[in-house]
Amino acid sequence: MGKSSLSAVALCCCLTSRNYLRILPLPTYNEYSLHCVAVVVIRCRRLFARLDARRCLKDIEPRVFPDNGGPDHGEVVEVYGAEGTGKTELLYHLLCRCVLPKETGGLEVDVVFVDTDYSLDMSRLVSILDSLSTCSTSAGSDEAVLRSCLSRLLVVHCSSSSQLLLTLHFLETTLSSRPSVALLLIDSISAFYWSDSSEGGASLSKREEKLSKCSELLGRLLRDYRITIFASCRTIRRSSSGSSSCVEMDRPYLCRPWQCLVTHRLLCSKREADTEQMRHPVFSIHTSSSSWTGTRGSRTSFFKVTDGGVEFL
């Protein structure tokens, strides 16, 4: 590369703040120089995103995680269970905990919600937020608090694993420009399991190809931007006879790259209801944790779903 190209790469970028770069116009530069400039800009954005401290979510819900704490920076929580075991309601509760202001006991951080099932119920979410925010009288008017909470939420809908992969690619721009984003929620990570399996046919690698690529990209986002990920996952029946045991159904089945990312697993189930539990069924959460620091722990907790959201017992 000639001296003019080197000078173009070295001199055309001027750092003006922690959040962006300004490209100074030059009289002449070649295509390779422009490529180098783009690479420098992307790397600097990643550096700034690392330098900006993102909120740690170890205290997101002490009643769910073991005594040694919840998920740290760059960790993944899988919320696993059959349909109707309270997974989505639990995600709503955790989401509200994040976006609520500190005056109401929240963490006051931004959240990205990736809805792959098209099941996000905004009216239900607003109802839970309204119920939790009214518990505090010092947070201001109810409407102002709700507007503030919803401004911290970014919702994305995906209808295929290909769309999910593209969404994760573009999510890097959001994470680099919004260091206040601390949580990525995916409901659910297993939404396209059967469609991908059908497209892949008899080849296991082809059936898992798209989710493996998504997992690799998620791993890079965790490493570069130190976010925390919560993702729901449905159980499946592996036996054609329909007599699969509970142990068999609770076993992880998604691709190996995804399983390697998971550091905390919340196994949700529905307890058998008696006459007193017909109105508000009781759900259980068995949490098993194995963080990158080597700490391990487990905990079992119980909750019921009311009009105001999750209520722990």
Count of alpha carbons within 13 angstroms of residue 264, beta-carbon side: 32
CA distance 77 to 71: 7
Looking at residue 52, what is its pLDDT? 55
262: confidence class by pLDDT, cuts 50, 70, 90: very high
Torsion of CA 267, 268, 273, 276, to 10 degrees: 120
List phi, psi (to 5°) of 72.
-95, 180
Residue type, position 309, single letter: G
**Whose structure tokens read 């890097």?**
172
Task: Provide the residue count of the chain.
Answer: 313
What top-level class would CATH report for the domain 52-312? alpha beta
194 C-beta neighbours (distance < 10 Å), count = 11
Q: State pLDDT tens for residues 124-139.
A: 999 999 888 776 555 5
| Residue 140 pLDDT exceeds 80 | no
Which helix (H) or strand (E) covers residue 267, if one does?
strand 262-270
Give me the residue spans of the domains in the chain. 3-49, 52-312
Which helix (H) or strand (E) covers residue 113, if one does?
strand 110-115
Looking at residue 97, what is its pLDDT? 92
Looking at residue 277, what is its pLDDT? 55
CA distance 246 to 239: 12
| Residue 156 pLDDT exceeds 90 | yes
Looking at residue 5, what is its pLDDT? 45
| Residue 185 pLDDT exceeds 60 | yes
Task: Tell me the percentage of the chain whose pLDDT exceeds 90.
Answer: 42
Q: State pLDDT tens for residues 265-311.
A: 999 998 876 555 567 789 999 998 876 555 678 889 999 999 888 99
Task: Tell me the percentage of the chain whose pLDDT exceeds 70.
Answer: 73
The alpha-carbon radius of gyration of the chain (Å, integer) is 22
Looking at residue 69, what is its pLDDT? 74
Q: Yes or no: say if 287 and 300 are a contact pair by the CB < 8 Å rule.
A: yes
CA distance 292 to 74: 9
217: confidence class by pLDDT, cuts 50, 70, 90: very high
What's the average model confidence in pLDDT over 91-102?
93
| Residue 4 pLDDT exceeds 80 | no
Structure tokens given for 164: 């999910």
Structure tokens given for 22: 């300004």
Beta pairing class for 21-23 and 13-15: antiparallel
CA distance 34 to 47: 20
Looking at residue 123, what is its pLDDT? 92
